A and B are shown apart, each in its own frame.
Chain A
Amino acid sequence: MKRILLTLYVLLTFGLSGHAQSLTLEYNFGYGDYRMSEMKDYLKDAEIPFDGAEIVDNFPGYLTQDTRVGMEWGNHHFGVLFNYMNTAGKRGLTDYSGHYYFEMRDKGYKLGAFYRFRLANEPLGFLTFQPYLQLSAGAVLNKVKLSEDMFFDLLPDQTFINERKLSGTNFFVEPAFGVKIGLCRYAALNVSVGYEWDPFKGLHASDSGAPAVFDADWSGYRTQVGLIFYWHLKK
């Protein structure tokens, strides 16, 4: 780890001294899948007061939103990121008389930093082809909502929705490989593939602070496509 940090320091020092610098703003739209093993178990084992309840959603992979602000010079690119992920688990049933569902909805807000090292910069017609390696790290702010929803068409007075909210923080590391395709001097198309690993996870009741019996594990593969905009600061 110390070697990696030392290498980054050397690269940044050399780069800043001799290459052009650009401020970057980028937006990526992507897809991620999530492990969520403990929440899947909890959903499967939850006591449902009705026969016939089935798991409808089991924390599937879903779209991600990613925004990054950074500084690029030479082959180096670093900055901060904000990322939004969400998924849900749901178990229950609907029939002619009403419905009953137990739902666990997860939202993860990632705040962190990233570093990219450009492996090459090859012209390709009027485009440029720039493969890179990326390492992102930071925290995931978890927001989990458990809700029990019962509704009877004929007995609206027996309808109820019970909700419980949980929150907590995970720490993640995400190595990735990507390609930037320069479209012009001010914009580039970005494509990346990576894997997020959450080594530290935490979740507790928002009101009482009592620890939850399960964690939100966002670990999983990530693919992203986006645009990077450049503001060139100096040559």
Chain B
Amino acid sequence: MKRRVVYLFLSLFILLAGCEYETGENLVELEVPSADDVHAEIELWGVPVGEQIYIEGSTSIAYSIRVPGYRFLKCEFEIDDQKWEMEGASGDFYVNTDHLSNGMHELSCRIYLKTNSGSLLDQANGEAFIGEKTWPVKVFVRETGDIPLAYRVNEEGYIELSWETEEDLRAQFDHYRIVYSKPHYSYERKIGSFDSHTFVDRGYVGEACTYEVFIYFKDESIRPYSLGKTELKAVDPQVKIEHLALDKVRLSWNNPYRSVASVYYKDKLIADNVPNGSSVDIPIAGFSDVSQWIELRFKAFDVADRWMDYTYVVERGLELGVPVTPNGNWPRYGYNLQEDRLYVSSYNEVTSWRLPDCSQVAQFNSTQQPNVEAYAFSVYDTRMAALHVWGIEIFENSSMKQATLLSVEHPVSFTGRMALTKDGKLITFLNEDTKLTGIVYDVPTAKEERRFALPEGLGSVTETYVTPDAKYMYYEYKGELSVAGFDNYQCHPIGKLSAPFTSWCLDLLHSERLFVSDGNKVTMYDCSNSFSTLRTFSYPELEVRNVDPKTGYLLLANRERFVILNPQSGDELLSGNVDTSYLWLYGNTLCAGNGYALNLDNYIQK
């Protein structure tokens, strides 16, 4: 009975299993692709590629593969047991020579290209045309080391390298190789004599570089190795700068290595092939807003050895004078005649300097006021006024222990130059609704004393100045320069300059005297009655800058040149080259836009 039951269920199972629905298939007939017309171009970079690739050490090899008409899938590079699978048609791979023996190897590249057959395997990027290219590779690696390489400067002034070799290497010896290298440049020299243990490089002139000496063997499978290595720092050629004039220096140097030098000032060749120990006179800018430098480009002494050079740059010591604004940031200069003090400000910091030695007297940091916009000059006492946007600070003397603040309720637009008068007043001007108003402050009480109107119709003037003796007012309005009498704060026109002008300034101690430049000449006028010409000086392309209250000398300048004149005699006292847009003469001291001040007592004979 049990057997029957088993047979019954077995039969039933077979019956059921045999009755399972059989599924069909969707057979797509496709043509198997053929790769007869596939062409691939491969280029390699990073190593010398000729009939064979030459590898001297671990290196990156870049490749680029072009397969017109096909889509690149991947490529596989292989050399010995190093293999790289690359997914891009261009890229690079790193060959580590630690795993390669010296000698011949083979680099292969297997390229996989999409067949575009549309088959399942093609859609899965698993079907590819495969192309292969191989290159013979010669691996010739040398082992670098850290044994110090001895060197010295020999009697002729050339660098001499020296090394030692063990005698038992004589039989296998092929040659020594001296390798010179520095960034982006290297060269090698061979010495075939085993007994040579020195090398003199007549081309070395003191640059930073590395020398390494290798020993090579007849059996190329033996890796050459280092006998010594030294990394040389750039030498300091001991440059000496001597100022011959305000705008001329004499440069001398001594390079420990035998060499000649080409001398450049701001990329301009001054002298060529100057031997060691010589000197060169170089015209420079006495003051410069932009950096200036001198280059010494050293080359080998012998023309045949000039395969490299060394440039030494001289940047310091070219500027004359004293840096009175250490950060050089847009200095504002002022001057007090009674104390003979120079005032220099940068941001809200005001410093005072004793002349003629340009030593600092005091420093004042205004905590409430922003940048100093301008100074007022006093020719009668020790006061100095510094104008800010929000007010005016009055210093009683150059110690600047405290400042009297003439504050204003609202930021005002002061116009023109301030004047500290003999009777302790400060006169300035401000623009209010295009109307010019004069303001008189009483300095001892720090109060605004009065305001006064200017002549009818006088609107926004470009430049206005009341002389310290409060006798004259000079102003520039609608491109015309005028002078007015100034008496008890009442103006009455005196005259108007009919000639064109480009710049003007006045002599603080002679308030009726005005200097005007028209771009070709400078004219000195007496303005007590009108513009009466006193003298003219022919100085094309120079502008009047200021008259030194101390000496009465007139400063003319443009961006590249300056001249100091004695306007009384007409004598040209000093001239020179500069590279600055800002230059003033205070207390017989030239003050430049680069923050340097130079006292001229040694340059101008009194």
Bind each other: yes
Please tell me which stretch of B114-122, B258-266, B307-315 contacts chain A, meaning at least 4 of its Cβ atoms lie within 8 angstroms of it. Answer: B114-122
In contact, A62 and B21 (Cβ under 8 angstroms): yes
* Min distance, Cβ B58 to any Cβ of chain A, angstroms: 33
Minimal Cβ-Cβ distance residue in A for B119 = A97
In contact, A93 and B23 (Cβ under 8 angstroms): no
Report chain B residues within 8 Å CB of A95. Answer: 27-30, 119-120
With the chains together, A65 CA to B20 CA distance in Å?
Answer: 11
Report chain B residues within 8 Å CB of A52. Answer: 26, 28, 118
* Min distance, Cβ A64 to any Cβ of chain B, angstroms: 8
Mark each residue of chain B from 114 to 157: 1 if its CB lies under 8 Å from any CB of chain A, else 0: 00001111111011000000000000000000000000000000
In contact, B30 and A56 (Cβ under 8 angstroms): no
Instruction: Given the known inter-chain contacts A57-B23, A88-B23, A94-B26, please indicate yes or no for A154 contacting B16, CB distance below 8 A.
Output: no
Confirm or deny: B25 has a beta carbon within 8 angstroms of a beta carbon on chain A: yes
The 8 Å CB contact of A101, one of B25, B30, B32, B121, is B25
In contact, B119 and A96 (Cβ under 8 angstroms): yes
Mark each residue of chain B from 18 to 46: 1 if its CB lies under 8 Å from any CB of chain A, else 0: 01110111111110100000000000000
In contact, A97 and B127 (Cβ under 8 angstroms): yes
Q: Mark out the residues of chain B between 28 and 87 whose CB falls within 8 Å of any chain A CB in the assembled complex.
A: 28-30, 32
With the chains together, A204 CA to B89 CA distance in Å?
Answer: 49
In contact, A155 and B27 (Cβ under 8 angstroms): no
Confirm or deny: A118 has a beta carbon within 8 angstroms of a beta carbon on chain B: no
Confirm or deny: B15 has a beta carbon within 8 angstroms of a beta carbon on chain A: yes
In contact, B24 and A154 (Cβ under 8 angstroms): no
In contact, B21 and A97 (Cβ under 8 angstroms): no
Report chain B residues within 8 Å CB of A218. Answer: none
The 8 Å CB contact of A92, one of B19, B26, B119, is B26
Confirm or deny: A99 has a beta carbon within 8 angstroms of a beta carbon on chain B: yes
Mark each residue of chain A from 55 to 87: 1 if its CB lies under 8 Å from any CB of chain B, else 0: 011001011010100000000000000001011
The 8 Å CB contact of A152, one of B24, B27, B121, is B121
With the chains together, A4 CA to B19 CA distance in Å?
Answer: 36
In contact, B124 and A94 (Cβ under 8 angstroms): no
Q: Mark out the residues of chain B between 90 and 126 whose CB falls within 8 Å of any chain A CB in the assembled complex.
A: 118-124, 126
Minimal Cβ-Cβ distance residue in A for B30 = A95
In contact, A56 and B120 (Cβ under 8 angstroms): no
Report chain B residues within 8 Å CB of A93. Answer: 26-28, 120
With the chains together, A93 CA to B425 CA distance in Å?
Answer: 105
In contact, A51 and B121 (Cβ under 8 angstroms): no
In contact, A103 and B23 (Cβ under 8 angstroms): yes
Count chain B residues whose beta carbon lies closer than 8 angstroms to a beta carbon of A. Answer: 24
The 8 Å CB contact of B15, one of A62, A65, A98, A152, is A65
In contact, A99 and B120 (Cβ under 8 angstroms): yes
* Min distance, Cβ A7 to any Cβ of chain B, angstroms: 34
Instruction: Given the known inter-chain contacts A65-B15, A155-B126, please indicate yes or no for A97 contacting B121, CB distance below 8 A.
Output: yes
With the chains together, A87 CA to B24 CA distance in Å?
Answer: 12
With the chains together, A63 CA to B26 CA distance in Å?
Answer: 23
Report chain A residues within 8 Å CB of B16. Answer: 65, 84
Q: Mark out the residues of chain B between 495 and 543 whose CB falls within 8 Å of any chain A CB in the assembled complex.
A: none
* Min distance, Cβ A91 to any Cβ of chain B, angstroms: 8
Minimal Cβ-Cβ distance residue in A for B127 = A97
Confirm or deny: A117 has a beta carbon within 8 angstroms of a beta carbon on chain B: no
* Min distance, Cβ B418 to any Cβ of chain A, angstroms: 85
In contact, A65 and B19 (Cβ under 8 angstroms): yes
Report chain B residues within 8 Å CB of A97. Answer: 119-122, 126-127
With the chains together, A56 CA to B126 CA distance in Å?
Answer: 25
Minimal Cβ-Cβ distance residue in B for A62 = B21
In contact, B25 and A94 (Cβ under 8 angstroms): yes
Confirm or deny: A122 has a beta carbon within 8 angstroms of a beta carbon on chain B: no
With the chains together, A67 CA to B122 CA distance in Å?
Answer: 50
The 8 Å CB contact of A154, one of B19, B27, B29, B121, is B121
With the chains together, A63 CA to B16 CA distance in Å?
Answer: 10
The 8 Å CB contact of B120, one of A50, A60, A107, is A50
In contact, B21 and A56 (Cβ under 8 angstroms): no
User: Nearest 8 pairs between A and B by C-beta?
Assistant: A97-B121, A97-B119, A90-B23, A93-B26, A54-B26, A95-B28, A62-B21, A56-B24
20 A-B residue pairs with CB within 8 Å: A54-B26, A56-B25, A56-B26, A65-B15, A88-B21, A93-B26, A94-B26, A95-B28, A95-B120, A96-B32, A96-B119, A97-B119, A97-B121, A98-B121, A99-B120, A101-B23, A105-B21, A152-B120, A152-B121, A154-B126
Partner-A contacts on B (CB < 8 A): 12, 15-16, 19-21, 23-30, 32, 118-124, 126-127
Extra pairs beyond A50-B123, A86-B19, A99-B120 (19, CB < 8 Å): A51-B118, A53-B26, A56-B23, A56-B24, A57-B23, A62-B19, A62-B21, A65-B16, A84-B19, A90-B23, A90-B24, A93-B27, A95-B28, A100-B120, A105-B21, A105-B23, A152-B120, A152-B126, A158-B124
